[in-house]
Structure 1
Amino acid sequence: MTQSMTYSAHFRAVLVMGLPLIGGHLAQLTIGLTDTLMMGRYGVPELAALTLASTLFMVLFLFGSGFAFAVMPMVAQFAAQGDLTHIRRATRMGLWLSTAFFLLCLPLFWWSGTLLQALGQTPQVALDAQLYLRIAGVGLLPALGVMVFKSYLAALEHTRAVLWLTVLAAIINAVANYALIFGEWGAPELGIRGAALASVAAHLSALAGVIVYARMKLPQYPLWQRFWRPDTEMLREVFALGWPIGLTTLAEVGLFAATAVLMGWIGTVPLAAHGIALQLSAATFMVHLGFSNVATVRAGQARGRGDVTYLVRGSWAVLALSGVAVIATIAAFLLIPEPLLALFLSPDEPQREAILRLGSQLLIVAAAFQLVDAAQVVVLGLLRGLQDTRVPMLIAGFSYWGLGLPVALGLGFWADWGAVGIWSGLVIGLGMAALLLLRRFWARAVPAMAQPG
């Protein structure tokens, strides 16, 4: 790649790198969907416990993944500079921090039943969730390790490996779930414990896969050389970059969890319509999350090269391609809302018509939601590539919780707009985040890179 790289070359590079990452994110989404579908067939109480336990696991996983995401821009920058030693150091300290985070979480998993009961959950559901987490919690270590290696491979543009390893994990999870939850193929019927064991098996398999791939395909990066040697300087750098990323992710996830609670206050039909519309939005969000990862890598490369033109052209390319995906999604949400919603509903569901009617209204709001959500997540990726994470964290926290949630409350309940008002609050919060992050990137981050030194 040269400094005179054309826009068309940037578009091609973004697609080559981005499509496998998008596929990997979609495959990751199917893992949770598979768990829910199979446990729902096994029993409603077990499904409730799994939902609760999975939520707690994902909150901790997403927070801990901040250190893995910090590895991505650092490795991209060092690769652009040809600095093999710093690539190894950054990846190694990402693994160290992920391991330390896992050890801090273990007591929380072990005594999660007490915590969940204190939060008002029924004793049986809390105990079943604890049973799941005492097993599945062990899988947090390989899960975070996989995230570090995925960031490492993506930064080195080995994104096809990320896709196929995630697909492999999804297949192993589905097969192990079926065997261990229901006792098929000679396996014992373990119910929710089977789901936990399947989760651990999937994470361990994925970790083994990424390690083998990294050793075979990238032998020039000796990641395990002096692995146990402390590296205080790099540890501080990865930590400083990673914890704001983790908190930013938590802020967004927490916002959507809070809106689910608000929907529950309104009633069952709004909560069901919200859940389906959110599933559809989550699937399309995976597209933009993939482009966000590409933005991080290419901004990191630009930083390593000290090439502002590369940064600007690459940024426009990734934003434009994300915009094309937004247009396609908006068209689908506005033109065929009911067929999309009907995919999640049984034909004999008594409240089917009410859910379809409200869900169609939410998808109209979701059309606007797509534009702002895509913009804010892609620009977050660009800023992370430039290793700017603390101010974006504050922007996200203010936009999501200081503006989005209060507006959702106001429009949903005080203005009596109901479910549509709550989703309108999401649009406004995410829209503010998009505007402020875009302003920071174009007004401060890009000019700052142009300054000598």
Structure 2
Amino acid sequence: MDTAASMTAESRARWTDELRATLALAWPLILANLTMQLIQATDVVLLGWLGSKELAAAALGLSLSFGMILFALGVLTATSPMMASALGARSNAVRDVRRTFRQGLWAAALMAGPTLIVLWNAEKVILFFGQDPELSRLAGWFLRGYMWVIPPWMLFQVMRNFVSALERPGWVLVISTLGIPLNAIVSWSLIFGHLGLPKLGLIGGGIGSSVVWAAMALALGLVILTDRQFRRFHLFGRFWRPDWPRFRQLFKLGLPIGLTTGFEGGVFSAAAYLMGLFGASSVAAHQIALQIAATTFMVPLALGQATTVRVGLAYGRGDRAAIGLAGWTALGLSTAFMTLMATLMFIFPHELITLFLADTPENATVIALGVSFLRIAALFQIVDGWQVVGAGMLRGIHDTRVPMVFALFGYWAIGLGIGVALAFAMEWRGVGIWTGLAAGLGVVAVLMIRRWSRRDKLGLLPADA
């Protein structure tokens, strides 16, 4: 009895320790993710003040960039488990972390160029997808200012992964928090012509975001150069020198991650363009509901990021028990939080939608559509958390290729397939699109968690773990 009680107490202590470690790493990431999302939410609110047409145009522009940005984020995410595993193994950790970081910069530069070319020609691309010519013109104009977010944003993500791998994400939180009021002031001034700045309207919101992200990337770079713990890695020294073996390793791990996140982001972008076939009101409502769902998503996203680090550290040590503890702890936290968010979104959809758009008669159609979309979003909150934390758990053990196939099948074959059928064949319109999104997220979530549960049988752990 004493032995059994001792084992139970030891097990409880390990779970408690892992919970504390996960929260210690996750809470700054959660707040940092939320603050970064609030920067974009601020833009949505300000553009909503211009009118529903301007908001719909910005939504089409943001949707075009969304899938490409998420693809890049996924590729760059590979730097996180690679650096965490190097730190866990401890052998040549400084050198290995530096090599990964530098090739992360190379990867960012490689992806930024094609992305900027596409966004510069956004009007033509959006017209190609059958959208309204006026909305396409306005969306292209908005992106001429917003596209310059891409280079500093990518640089920021690589630096963020570095400080997170060292389990010091607090600086990301501080800088992101300062970015919210800065973005609100700069974008407000450029959109409406305040504080001596020109009144630029729609493009002003894009330029404001670009200025703020450049400032945030510069600030985090200065921290890395001056902080004693960070500067010993000499991350920016001779960053122009090629390291082709590490570059290939990064893309071998990161390309499937990028395709996974790109498939998810792409299906939401496709949903926005399908909404465009139903009119500007549907696009505007979709963007507002998506903004709210994306804000709640920032918490499980951060838990997934923290789990990648925690699992990666245990993976580097070859600690099988710690790998399992790290994964299941994050999944439990995500489930609890998303259950609460689902409840709030289902009960108070009108109140949430009208935070972004004035409750006036001319906005009544947009608000009604937004409410219907948000209630469906409430239904997929829990599985949305499961799929992103599940992906983070699997990335920690360097398993990325099969999750990529799960994403392609779940989001596009199931999610978009069901959405199109319901929207057009059943004439559910926008509600059908969102129902399909919910179905796709549910399928991916189940597949991710099932694969994690069978990680031992599938041989996903190294032989000595």
Normalised by the size of structure 2, how large is the TM-score? Answer: 0.87
Structure 1 residue 313, shift from structure 2 partner: 0.9
- The alpha-carbon distance between structure 1 residues 68 and 43, as it changes in their structure 2 partners (threshold 3 A), is same
Aligned to 2:440: 429
1:147 partner letter: Q
Structure 1 residue 120, shift from structure 2 partner: 4.3
Aligned to 1:172: 182
Q: Residues of 1 paired with 2:30 and 2:272: CA distance? A: 26
Cα deviation 1:97-147 (Å, max 9, x = unaligned): 101211233433444444344444566655554454444433321110001
SS across alignment from 1:448 = coil
Structure 1 residue 439, shift from structure 2 partner: 1.6
Aligned to 2:17: 9
Q: 2:259 aligns with which of 230, 247, 252?
A: 247
Q: Residues of 2 paired with 1:111 and 1:274: CA distance? A: 24
Aligned to 1:201: 211
For the 8 Å contact 1:334–1:367, the answer to whether it is kept is yes
Structure 1 residue 155, shift from structure 2 partner: 1.5
- The alpha-carbon distance between structure 1 residues 185 and 244, as it changes in their structure 2 partners (threshold 3 A), is same
Aligned positions of 1:57-72 closer than 5 A: 57-72=65-80
- The alpha-carbon distance between structure 1 residues 389 and 121, as it changes in their structure 2 partners (threshold 3 A), is same
Cα deviation 1:272-313 (Å, max 9, x = unaligned): 665544333222111111111111111111111111111111
For the 8 Å contact 1:373–1:431, the answer to whether it is kept is yes
Q: Are residue 396 (structure 1) and residue 407 (structure 2) matched?
A: yes
Aligned positions of 1:112-191 closer than 5 A: 112-121=122-131, 126=136, 128-191=138-201
Mean Cα displacement is larger for which, 400-409 or 140-149? 400-409
For the 8 Å contact 1:135–1:196, the answer to whether it is kept is yes
Mean Cα displacement is larger for which, 72-81 or 219-228? 219-228
For the 8 Å contact 1:65–1:246, the answer to whether it is kept is yes
Aligned to 1:379: 390
Q: Residues of 2 paired with 1:353 and 1:108: CA distance? A: 32
Aligned to 1:282: 294
Q: Residues of 2 paired with 1:431 and 1:30: CA distance? A: 26
For the 8 Å contact 1:95–1:148, the answer to whether it is kept is yes
Q: 1:99 aligns with which of 109, 112, 117?
A: 109
Structure 1 residue 69, shift from structure 2 partner: 0.8
Q: 1:18 aligns with which of 10, 26, 29?
A: 26
Cα deviation 1:16-48 (Å, max 9, x = unaligned): 211221111211222222223323434666555
Aligned positions of 1:175-324 closer than 5 A: 175-217=185-227, 218-263=230-275, 274-324=286-336
For the 8 Å contact 1:270–1:355, the answer to whether it is kept is no
Q: Residues of 2 paired with 1:35 and 1:127: CA distance? A: 19
For the 8 Å contact 1:49–1:125, the answer to whether it is kept is yes
- The alpha-carbon distance between structure 1 residues 432 and 45, as it changes in their structure 2 partners (threshold 3 A), is closer
- The alpha-carbon distance between structure 1 residues 338 and 35, as it changes in their structure 2 partners (threshold 3 A), is closer
Structure 1 residue runs of 5 or longer lacking an equivalent are none
Structure 2 residue runs of 5 or longer lacking an equivalent are 1-9
Q: Residues of 2 paired with 1:255 and 1:177: CA distance? A: 28
Structure 1 residue 338, shift from structure 2 partner: 4.2
- The alpha-carbon distance between structure 1 residues 348 and 53, as it changes in their structure 2 partners (threshold 3 A), is closer
Aligned positions of 1:308-387 closer than 5 A: 308-349=320-361, 352=364, 355-356=367-368, 362-387=373-398
- The alpha-carbon distance between structure 1 residues 255 and 112, as it changes in their structure 2 partners (threshold 3 A), is closer
Q: Residues of 1 paired with 2:133 and 2:281: CA distance? A: 27
Q: 2:453 aligns with which of 422, 438, 442?
A: 442
Identity of aligned residues (%): 36
Mean Cα displacement is larger for which, 170-179 or 158-167? 170-179
Mean Cα displacement is larger for which, 280-289 or 261-270? 261-270
Mean Cα displacement is larger for which, 397-406 or 108-117? 108-117
SS across alignment from 1:375 = helix
Mean Cα displacement is larger for which, 56-65 or 242-251? 56-65
1:409 partner letter: V
SS across alignment from 1:247 = helix
- The alpha-carbon distance between structure 1 residues 197 and 272, as it changes in their structure 2 partners (threshold 3 A), is closer
Q: Residues of 1 paired with 2:197 and 2:275: CA distance? A: 40
For the 8 Å contact 1:5–1:310, the answer to whether it is kept is no
- The alpha-carbon distance between structure 1 residues 201 and 340, as it changes in their structure 2 partners (threshold 3 A), is closer
SS across alignment from 2:455 = helix
Q: Residues of 2 paired with 1:350 and 1:42: CA distance? A: 13
1:436 partner letter: L
Q: Residues of 1 paired with 2:310 and 2:382: CA distance? A: 22
Structure 1 residue 195, shift from structure 2 partner: 2.8
2:188 partner letter: Y
Mean Cα displacement is larger for which, 194-203 or 393-402? 194-203
Cα deviation 1:216-244 (Å, max 9, x = unaligned): 22122111233221101000011112222
RMSD: 3.0
For the 8 Å contact 2:318–2:464, the answer to whether it is kept is no
Normalised by the size of structure 1, how large is the TM-score? Answer: 0.89
- The alpha-carbon distance between structure 1 residues 178 and 93, as it changes in their structure 2 partners (threshold 3 A), is same
